[in-house]
Amino acid sequence: MGIPQLIALKRRTGVRRRNSHGRNCPKNVAVGQAEIGKTLPKTEGRGPEDTVLDHPEFGRRPIRGRYGQSTEGRPEHYISSGSYRVAARFREEGVDGLVDHREENGETKLCDEFLSTLWEVVESCPLDHGWKRPTWTREMLVITMERKTGIRIHVSTMSVALSRIGARRGRPKPIVESTWSKQAKNKRLRELRELVEDLPDDEVVVYEDEVDVHLNPKIGLDWMVKGQQKEVLTPGQNEKQYLAGALNPKTGELTWVEGDSKNSLLFIQLLWKLHEQYPNAKKIHVILDNYSIHSTEEVAKTLATKAGQRFELHFLPPYCPDHNKIERAWQDLHANVTRNHKCSDMSELMKNVRYYLRQRNKHKAQYATAA
């Protein structure tokens, strides 16, 4: 009888561990013992390739080693070292040797309380727990969790625990602390949100920002097979082009202009394009950051013209890129075009940029958002 048949028989017979008085033993154990037949022969002095399982239905079958071959030259069923241990327990204890003893290991250490504490620890910084290193390692987590819970686990078990709480290794996002008070910041953000929500039908609101396009590729994550590290060829001498864009959050449409320099002229060109794109809008509201090119004398003169009076600029609090909805569009642009690109010159790269943005506008409805 082969090891797979033994395992299957264990499942069919529903074997449970018996105590010294024979309790908790199902009636069909006796039937299972009769089905197995004779006890497996001892294998002293034999190699693994000579071990024989005897069964009246299946006959005498050799258990081959890891690379064993049958007499006909065909590979036999792979038998692991664990299977030999199962066979040895069966010879010594009979059917009871097939019982899974893991239920006797006691309560699991990775209980809900432990995982909840681990979540809080991973969310925090190691410096908050007395460590000098600012990033977590599994070994540091093991020690910190032992201090907090009194439970000591192996480093490999910590990997399982981290997987259960959905933890991952990622790059932190650099931020700059706002110079505004929290109250002032929240007030401005609330005003901008209400502006978008309560916008009259004859007015338009857009989120504006600029983005750099580099000939030197941005390096990003990519799938690779084991042992491979993909290479990204860089041209050496970097070149740059700049886009100024405006995203309409209600339609999802992105309007953009291109330039060799990121200056006030680029921003003014975008304003004029918006002026032409929304001829029937009584007012065009532009939500934008505090970049210096948005507040120059040239911009002020443009806004003072008859056409410029249709525009009203609404500045975000300092260092609040997450509240500028066009930032996500630029992230998608980098992910789909500029990251790890293989363009040999800027004209080819910009051609891909324009193609992506035009395709995006064809499906603009899926990018429309609420306030």
Average the pLDDT over 305-317 and give the result: 95
pLDDT of amino acid 21: 42
DSSP 268-293: HHHHHHHHHH-TT-SEEEEEE---GG
Q: Is the dihedral of CA 135, 139, 143, 148 positive or negative?
A: positive
Average the pLDDT over 107-127 and give the result: 93
pLDDT of amino acid 36: 44
Model confidence at 6: pLDDT above 80:
no
Average model confidence (pLDDT) across the chain:
82
How far apart CA 129 and CA 48 sit, in angstroms, is 53
Instruction: Decide: residue 123, CB within 10 A, 0-12 exposed, 13-18 middle, 19+ buried.
Output: exposed
pLDDT of amino acid 273: 97
pLDDT of amino acid 1: 53
Q: For residue 272, what are the CA distances in angstroms to 139, 158, 241?
A: 58, 58, 20
Q: What is the pLDDT of residues 265-287, one digit of tens each?
A: 999 999 999 999 999 999 999 99
Q: What is the pLDDT of residues 72-104, one digit of tens each?
A: 444 445 556 777 888 888 888 888 878 776 666
Average the pLDDT over 203-212 and give the result: 97
β-pairing verdict for 203-214 and 283-288: parallel
Model confidence at 332: pLDDT above 90:
yes
Is the pLDDT higher at 37 or at 217?
217
Beta bridge partners of 218: 339
How far apart CA 321 and CA 262 sit, in angstroms, is 18
Q: What is the pLDDT of residues 227-236, one digit of tens each?
A: 999 999 888 7
How far apart CA 234 and CA 351 sit, in angstroms, is 18
Q: How confident is the model at residue 67 (pLDDT cuts 50, 70, 90)?
A: very low
Q: In what side-by-side order are the strands of the sheet with 283-288?
A: 254-259, 240-247, 203-214, 283-288, 311-315
Report yes or no: 161 and 115 within 8 Å, Cβ to Cβ. yes
Average the pLDDT over 245-257 and give the result: 96
Axis-axis angle for helices 264-277, 297-304 (nearest 10): 20
Integer Rg of the chain from CA: 35
pLDDT of amino acid 28: 44
The conformation of residue 75, written as its DSSP 8-state character, comes to B
How far apart CA 92 and CA 96 sit, in angstroms, is 9
Model confidence at 59: pLDDT above 70:
no
pLDDT of amino acid 176: 83
How far apart CA 350 and CA 224 sit, in angstroms, is 27
pLDDT of amino acid 84: 81
